[in-house]
Structure 1
Amino acid sequence: MKTPIFKRYTGTLLIAIAMMGITACQKYLEVSPISSFGPDYTFNSVTNAQKAVLGAYAALTGDAGYGIRLSMYYPYDNDEMMGQGATPYPDGERRDIAHYNTQPSNSQLAGPFNQLYHGIEMANLCIYYIPKMEQYTSGSASDQKALKRLYGEALALRAQFYFEVIRNWGDVPASFQPSSFESDLFKARTNRDTIYNRVLADLATASNLVPWKTEDPSVTNERINQGGVRALRARIALFRGGFSLRQSKTMERPADYKTYYQIAKDECAAIMARNDHRLNASYQAVFKDALDAHAKDPAGEIIWEVGMTGGSSGVGDSKLGYYNGPRLNGATGNGALTILPSYFYSFDPNDTRRDVTCAPYNISSAGIIQPRTLVTMVDGKFRRDWISNPSVLTSTAQYFGINWPVIRYSDVLLMFAEADNELAGAPSAAAKAAFEQVRTRGFGGNATLIGTTPADKTGFFNAIVKERAFEFGAEGIRKYDLIRWNLLKTKLDEAKAQMAEMAKPVADRILPYKNYPLNMYFQANATSVVPLNSYYQPEPATAPANSVTVAWVTAPTVSGTTTTPSTITSTLLTYFAINFTPNKSELLPLPQQTVEANPILGGQWYGY
């Protein structure tokens, strides 16, 4: 069983600093002393320096981190899933975020914003003090090696914190030294390109300090290794070279964007040239047998994951499997993230990733499947009936200790393919091979099912856009991909149009929607989803024996010229991305208390 690397030190952050409040109810810059130990003590041994770095890792976790808000509030709505729907809406919190109605007063902004900056501060302290330790330059060989690794990890963590802040808030205040050295804590915004350039340089440094996975196999992938550093650098480079919403209130891309695509390609190529990480032969096993079973992935596909403490609370744990996924007996758990029907039907029926990502059921305490309808389907990568070691099938707890995957090897392959295509004007043989490796695994290893890979630049790019949706559904990636491609509005509109087509009376639909069944039949008392008719063809005239009948889609009825809206219209299109405004909604507003506390910020930007 995996043990999160910082579990032993939870609650023991060993640096005497005053931090910004990390809960939504606290005020910006409210001071909360977190330890009585100063840097002279903290950075006097390798052991204590490690504890300090683990304190920075801890800022990734919990309710304000990837435990729920950064992983399951902020990345939605997108063309895969809808965030929490239904009433009350507007609600001033998660529903407003999901449906692009976020106001600066939203109660879910301050906690993540402040916790990310707390992580930056923790990393800054480690980055400043570790190289000044006597053991860093004159200690034993093992001490020097350990401290250089910790220094590299701190550089990578700071890059991840800034990356998350930028992709949600754009240009933000930046500091690269401990706050105690700042002459003025009220800082203006720094252009995101400046921050990106700094962290890209930092990651280049870190890649020479942090070992590859095979060089230290005893360490779990909850601790970033060289593959993770390089993959993170590739990801940030693509965002540095991609589109983003600027102060001009327009989506812009830098003129030298290919410089950053080259960085991404080179870093991915370096990872691909080794055997530290590879695709697990089974897509399902990445989630069911590794993340959900709290086990080590033998393929090393999950390059870096955020280690959650397990069995604790909102401080260092996650609500993965409780906030999302199938509910217990239809009552316990939120089931808050909804798979869009348009996304479900975008999968080829032979693509094994569909039934990993999409879970059309609840689960009974006896493990019996309770089918859901098409319009209430939930995501399935972090489902309670897959969680084991220990099992939480019948648990009423909200925290299951499930780690959040930051980056997987399949992302490296697809980033390489995307960057290569953009740089060369068409995909090379290597780019096609990387793309096909991911796609073939998705089809259970059967290369005859994957179709023909496009050979032109536009066709290959469009294939990449689709493939990343199939590969990374429910992993908090899609919305930000669409933003860096300047495709968010386009894809949201496409999803709305597709669902509107499904909402029509069957006779009025165009193909392929005309063939989609209104009812599905599932095997009664099954412990796994066993549909007895095809999701892609009309249901049989009579229900199969020993089946459970589910109204897969509520059929519209026509009376004269009046059409009763289908369930798709009434439950999804009412809320899905309903307030998205292009050239505004691509970023969140800063927390209002932050703007009020710091007039140098210049108020809200981007139309807020």
Structure 2
Amino acid sequence: MKKKYFYKLTFIAGAGLLLLLGGCKKFLDQQPITEVSAEMVFKDVPSTYKAIAGVYSRLVGDAGFGIRLSLYYTVDTDEMQGPTGASDNDRRDIARYIATSTNAQLTNPFNQLFTGIEYANICIANIPKMAMYNNGSEQEKKQLRRMYGEALALRAQYYFQAIVNWGDVPAHFNPASVDAATNPFPVRTDRDTIYNRLLEDLKTAADLVPWRNEVAGIGDQIDERLTKGSIKALRARIALFRGGYALRKDGTMKRGSDYQTYYQIARQECSEIIASAQHSLNPSYKALWKDQVNARAVADPNGELMFQASGIGASGAEDTKLAYYNGPTVGSFGNKSINVLPNYFYLFDSTDQRRDVTCAVYNVAADGATKVGQAITAIVDGKYRRDWITNPVVAPTNAVQYFGLKWQILRYSDVLLMYAEAENELNPAPTAAAFNAVNQVRRRGYGKPINTPDATVDLPSTLDKNAFFTAIVKERSLELGGEGVRKFDLIRWNMLAAKIAETKATLLAMSNLSAPYNTLPIAMYYKNNSTADDATLWANSFYKTAPTATPAGTTKVTWFSAAINTTALSRYATGFTTGKSELNPIPQPARDANFNLSQNPGY
């Protein structure tokens, strides 16, 4: 791109923050700022609040966690796969690891992440310069310091998403108006260098932002904005990725020899969150999703939902298509484009209550209530469901596609599991603290009292270091399934290729009814006119051979069959190539705009 056009775009990006309507949710709704000078925007707490709302806003929309970052880029894994249909140089190709640099679904998310970085940079550059930042009232200073910390953390989140999807990216830590004059066409910076900067930024941010119970004390509302626990959790996550494997520019998966340094950071941050007692698990896994997330609740008594991307506006700019693109259909509405893989369904024990939340084994009739059971090849992810939405309910005849649901970026259960993983990595054997952290998650998942040891669900205390890690790999899948975490976990563990191969072998065995799958039902029978949203919809067990005759009052669904091969396996991760598919290609329009952007290996 010619330099004059770059400068023009730079000005537009910078001015865009000041012109935003602003807002991720009701608590961030603002009137538009019409002035474009920094002095007018960063003049007091209310105006700066609007600017921070603009930074948050880039988390969502169609190009953000509204659909692409959350649902297009996170499959195919050993849990979920993307939509049916032929290759399209679009969303299906991304899911199947056959995307090219000209895929139309890559450019806008790439650009939006860097727009978010730019908006954050403008806040980071200007908030500390405000007279009120150092000379205002104590309340004003605390509020502005919080917003400065939020901007640092949001920039880290945008960079993290850019890195896990595209690897090394240009480093922009100043507003574009500053960098454009000296380095208008930056090269890609090694991700470890960027991660190191982000970890330092987040350390600073955590000191500036209050804990949940301190928010009201500084004069802010208790809402969905980042708090100290959220930022510490994000720092822990990024530390684990800094210490994990990644696809390097030479086409190999590597991690640094100093990786344990970053596990120590993760352990420390998670330990401090746990010790703070500011966050806890909702006692019911189903209530967390049905009565909290899908009920569009504002209050979160447990503080389990630590970092959320909130949708608003019922449009592609700042809302989400959660429960429309994915989840069960209601009548003719919905896409049901994320399918649960049969092997993942059977990763759950029969008494694990997370299965019937994560895996929705029905669609909904046009009345909005009656459930229609589905074959195992057609079940969908269930944490976002149109039929669960309340406050208010979405009518079954309503054709709206944007529901204002929040994508969950970080939950407290993830903190417990990150702590257990880091603690295990840094010790010769799993410690009592590591067992306790993961067992809290397991107990909740099985509907048991969270803080009461229970031999029926707790991990065996005899597990050694390697076996405990294997248990963590499984537990993170059971707990966080369908939340966009698995693919990137497998990459940082250097396990994605192996898990994809293992999944393909399992799907083939299932389609052939080979042992141990020959004792599972080839038919399931759902109850007619039932409104049940869990296993009670079905008249027989998922784990035992089927009845020889159709039970009265039920409808038969072919469950296990060769269709597992023809409908699931045939499209699953078809283009995955080790040393290439761990990253997306850099979008060609970005490379056209910056001739110094190199391409990722294999593309």
TM superposition shift of 1:124: 0.3
Q: Does 1:120 align with 2:117?
A: yes
TM superposition shift of 1:40: 1.1
Q: Residue 548 of structure 1 is aligned with which of 537, 555, 560?
A: 555
TM superposition shift of 1:138: 0.6
Gap change, CA 1:501 and 1:219, over 3 Å in 2? farther
* Contact 2:28/2:53 (<8 A) preserved: no
What is the letter of the counterpart of residue 118 of structure 1? T
Q: CA RMSD in A?
A: 1.4
Partners of 1:201 and 1:549 lie apart in 2 by 58
Partners of 2:117 and 2:102 lie apart in 1 by 24
What is the letter of the counterpart of residue 327 of structure 2? G
Partner of 2:416: 413
Partner of 1:20: none
Partners of 2:115 and 2:576 lie apart in 1 by 30
What is the letter of the counterpart of residue 51 of structure 1? K
Q: Any idea what SS the aligned residue of 1:100 has? A: coil
Q: Residue 9 of structure 1 is aligned with which of 20, 30, 38?
A: 30
Partner of 1:198: 197
Partner of 1:581: 577
* Contact 2:185/2:596 (<8 A) preserved: yes
Partner of 1:355: 356
Partners of 1:7 and 1:103 lie apart in 2 by 37
TM superposition shift of 1:297: 2.5
Matches within 5 A, 1:435-446: 435-445=438-448
Partners of 1:54 and 1:3 lie apart in 2 by 7
Partner of 2:488: 480
As a proportion of its length, which structure holds more helix?
Answer: 2
* Contact 2:304/2:412 (<8 A) preserved: yes
Matches within 5 A, 1:228-307: 228-295=230-297, 296-307=299-310
Partners of 1:96 and 1:393 lie apart in 2 by 33
Partners of 1:6 and 1:191 lie apart in 2 by 37
Partners of 1:37 and 1:265 lie apart in 2 by 43
Partners of 1:74 and 1:116 lie apart in 2 by 14
What is the letter of the counterpart of residue 63 of structure 1? D
* Contact 1:7/1:309 (<8 A) preserved: no
Partners of 1:363 and 1:467 lie apart in 2 by 30
Partner of 2:20: none
Q: Residue 136 of structure 1 is aligned with which of 133, 136, 145?
A: 133
What is the letter of the counterpart of residue 159 of structure 1? A
Q: Deviations over 1:480-534 (max 9, x none)?
A: 0000000001111111111100111x4xx111x0111111011110001421111
Partners of 2:572 and 2:395 lie apart in 1 by 30
Partner of 1:332: 333
Q: Residue 172 of structure 1 is aligned with which of 169, 173, 181?
A: 169
Q: Residue 457 of structure 1 is aligned with which of 450, 465, 487?
A: 465
What is the letter of the counterpart of residue 76 of structure 2? D
Partners of 2:221 and 2:385 lie apart in 1 by 27
* Contact 1:221/1:303 (<8 A) preserved: no
Q: Any idea what SS the aligned residue of 1:424 has? A: coil
TM superposition shift of 1:393: 4.4
Partners of 1:274 and 1:543 lie apart in 2 by 55
Partners of 1:229 and 1:290 lie apart in 2 by 22
Q: Any idea what SS the aligned residue of 1:521 has? A: strand
Partner of 1:536: 543
Partners of 2:600 and 2:214 lie apart in 1 by 46
* Contact 2:508/2:564 (<8 A) preserved: yes
* Contact 1:127/1:155 (<8 A) preserved: yes
Gap change, CA 1:63 and 1:196, over 3 Å in 2? same
Partners of 2:300 and 2:324 lie apart in 1 by 23
TM superposition shift of 1:221: 5.1
* Contact 1:6/1:54 (<8 A) preserved: no
Partners of 2:600 and 2:529 lie apart in 1 by 54
Partner of 2:95: 98
Partner of 1:22: none
Partner of 1:606: 601
Partner of 1:59: 58
Partner of 1:516: 520
* Contact 1:53/1:126 (<8 A) preserved: yes
Partner of 2:143: 146
* Contact 2:62/2:316 (<8 A) preserved: yes
TM superposition shift of 1:396: 1.4
Gap change, CA 1:3 and 1:42, over 3 Å in 2? closer
Q: Any idea what SS the aligned residue of 2:29 has? A: helix
Partner of 1:207: 206
TM superposition shift of 1:222: 2.3
Partners of 2:362 and 2:270 lie apart in 1 by 37
Q: Does 1:526 align with 2:530?
A: yes
* Contact 1:81/1:339 (<8 A) preserved: yes
Q: Any idea what SS the aligned residue of 1:290 has? A: helix
TM superposition shift of 1:364: 1.6
* Contact 1:56/1:123 (<8 A) preserved: yes
What is the letter of the counterpart of residue 576 of structure 2? F
Gaps of 5+ in 1: 15-34, 555-565
Gap change, CA 1:503 and 1:244, over 3 Å in 2? same
Q: Residue 471 of structure 1 is aligned with which of 472, 479, 493?
A: 479
**TM-score of the two chains, using structure 2 as the length reference:** 0.92
What is the letter of the counterpart of residue 163 of structure 2? I
Q: Any idea what SS the aligned residue of 1:550 has? A: strand
Partner of 2:11: none
Partners of 1:9 and 1:494 lie apart in 2 by 50
Partners of 1:3 and 1:283 lie apart in 2 by 25
Partners of 1:220 and 1:457 lie apart in 2 by 41
* Contact 2:76/2:573 (<8 A) preserved: yes
Partners of 1:418 and 1:170 lie apart in 2 by 24
Partner of 1:322: 324
4+ long deviations beyond 2 Å: 217-222, 446-449, 451-455
What is the letter of the counterpart of residue 600 of structure 2? W
* Contact 1:517/1:539 (<8 A) preserved: yes
Q: Any idea what SS the aligned residue of 2:238 has? A: helix
Q: Any idea what SS the aligned residue of 2:478 has? A: helix
TM superposition shift of 1:605: 2.3
Partners of 2:221 and 2:550 lie apart in 1 by 53
Q: Deviations over 1:55-79 (max 9, x none)?
A: 0000101000000000000011111
TM superposition shift of 1:9: 2.8
Q: Deviations over 1:354-402 (max 9, x none)?
A: 0000001111232000111100100110011111111114121110000
Partners of 1:251 and 1:245 lie apart in 2 by 4
Partners of 1:585 and 1:351 lie apart in 2 by 33
Partners of 1:220 and 1:586 lie apart in 2 by 39
Partner of 1:17: none
Gap change, CA 1:477 and 1:3, over 3 Å in 2? closer
TM superposition shift of 1:36: 4.5
Partners of 1:495 and 1:401 lie apart in 2 by 34
Q: Deviations over 1:403-432 (max 9, x none)?
A: 011100000000000000001122110000
Partner of 2:36: 37
What is the letter of the counterpart of residue 445 of structure 2? G
Partners of 2:25 and 2:520 lie apart in 1 by 45
Partner of 1:590: 586
What is the letter of the counterpart of residue 194 of structure 1? T
TM superposition shift of 1:208: 0.6
Q: Any idea what SS the aligned residue of 1:208 has? A: helix
Partner of 1:503: 511
Q: Deviations over 1:551-602 (max 9, x none)?
A: 1123xxxxxxxxxxx111111111100100001000011110111221112x
Partners of 2:301 and 2:587 lie apart in 1 by 42
TM superposition shift of 1:220: 4.5
Partners of 1:157 and 1:6 lie apart in 2 by 17
Partners of 1:241 and 1:575 lie apart in 2 by 33
* Contact 1:6/1:55 (<8 A) preserved: no
Q: Any idea what SS the aligned residue of 2:325 has? A: coil
TM superposition shift of 1:7: 4.7
Partner of 2:185: 186
Partners of 2:456 and 2:574 lie apart in 1 by 37
Partner of 2:3: none
* Contact 2:439/2:459 (<8 A) preserved: no
**TM-score of the two chains, using structure 1 as the length reference:** 0.91
